[in-house]
Amino acid sequence: MSVLSGKKVLLGVSGGIAAYKTASLVRLFIKAGAQVQVIMTPASKDFVTPLTLSTLSKNPVHSTFYNEEDDNAEWNNHVELGLWADIMLIAPATANTLSKMANGNCDNLLIATYLSAKCPVYFAPAMDLDMYKHPSSISSFTLLQRFGNIMIPAESGELASGLSGEGRMAEPENIITFLEKDLESKLPLRGKKILITAGPTYEAIDPVRFIGNHSSGKMGFDIAERAAELGASVMLISGPTHLNVKNSVIDLVRVTSAQEMYDACHLHYRNVDVAICAAAVADYKPKFVAEQKIKKADASLFIELEKTNDILASLGKMKKQQFLIGFALETENEIENAKLKIQKKNLDLIVLNSLQDEGAGFGKSTNKITFINKDFVVEPMDLKSKELVATDIMKKVISFYEMSTKSE
């Protein structure tokens, strides 16, 4: 899956012959899973039609601050457009547009939006050979990069003038590759390996029946998705659940029983940087599993149980460089029990859930957690969607590595 998937891309098109390439560029963004809105300068419409880019982007194309033909039309709010975007790309960026960007000459919607943007801004110059080498163009390149904008260098090739040389806008495929590599290089968990457990475990009574719990696995799956978005290499070990991963870079390992999850965790734990044990693993399992379905006979049935292997405690004993996060679901004495779990299992952080909190627990789309670290610092969080809780958990992981870097 492309790092552009889910990103909101604002494409600014200025008036150069290379504007015809923006049709392919928009298609590539959409194929990568991005959302696209387009702003065109009035001059760019001579080279590619708004209808083409609107059809491909599946969004209206913006060009002016308001519709001159409709007195009742709402204005195109450049501030909202700038705040909407995760990425802004000006391609093609002509000498005229680059000069306006560098000097704040705000005479059209594109420049006004650029000046309002809070996101990373990329620009792909497109102009003839002598224009590309002119001191004024070089000054614009320098100033814009000094402002923090990122230049996608022009390529060499045949130009509209008939000359051949540097100044040709980078090909759409190369622009996409440039953006993906640049974004990936800035992901805070790039290069980190994270092991995550999710879902319930089922402990067989006979070939038909089992002991289990109500865990849906959603919390663990959301953590895995967020970790992958932040650049981590993710292995997700999941008990039985109907959920599937959306990000193709996540290595999903499906297991059924606590022992299978134990074995899978121990197979990979030594090679990971972070382990997040979000699964609701059964504490007990039947000591004897019937080979055939148990027939209903007596008024009562006695099943002897034995403890399962404690995955989290065993990982805590093995821990070396790993940042180890556990989950605790409590119904009473929540803080005290969670602190004991941190000590007994050698955890760096525990994510505490209480069934006393409305909106938390199994089978819900929301969660209310409390963070407790190994120094027993307690940090209660508000009720949030599980996706946002996953983001909060990953912020703790990022913070751990930022602190580790500062202490070196």
Structure tokens at 260: 């299978």
What 8-state DSSP symbol labels residue 106?
A: -
- 403: number of Cβ within 10 Å: 9
Q: Cis omega before residue 50 (within 30°)?
A: no
Cα distances (angstroms) measured from residue 354 to each of 133, 200, 360, 386: 65, 17, 7, 15
What 8-state DSSP symbol labels residue 169?
A: P
**Whether 227 contacts 395, CB under 8 Å:** no
Residues 6 or more apart in contact with residue 176 via CB below 8 angstroms: 2, 4, 25, 28, 29, 32
Residue 201 identity (one-letter amino acid): T
Alpha helices (runs of H) in 121-236, residue ranges in sequence order: 129-133, 135-146, 172-185, 218-229
Nearest to 117 by CA among 142, 87, 148: 87
Catalytic: which of 77, 213, 247, 309? 213
Q: Is 213 a catalytic residue?
A: yes
Structure tokens at 14: 């200025």
- 270: number of Cβ within 10 Å: 10
Separation of alpha carbons 294 and 304, rounded Å: 14
Structure tokens at 254: 């499906």
What 8-state DSSP symbol labels residue 130?
A: H
Separation of alpha carbons 308 and 330, rounded Å: 19
- Helices (H) then strands (E): counts for the chain: 13, 22
Residues 6 or more apart in contact with residue 340 via CB below 8 angstroms: none
Give the residue numbers annotated as catalytic, written as ranges.
213
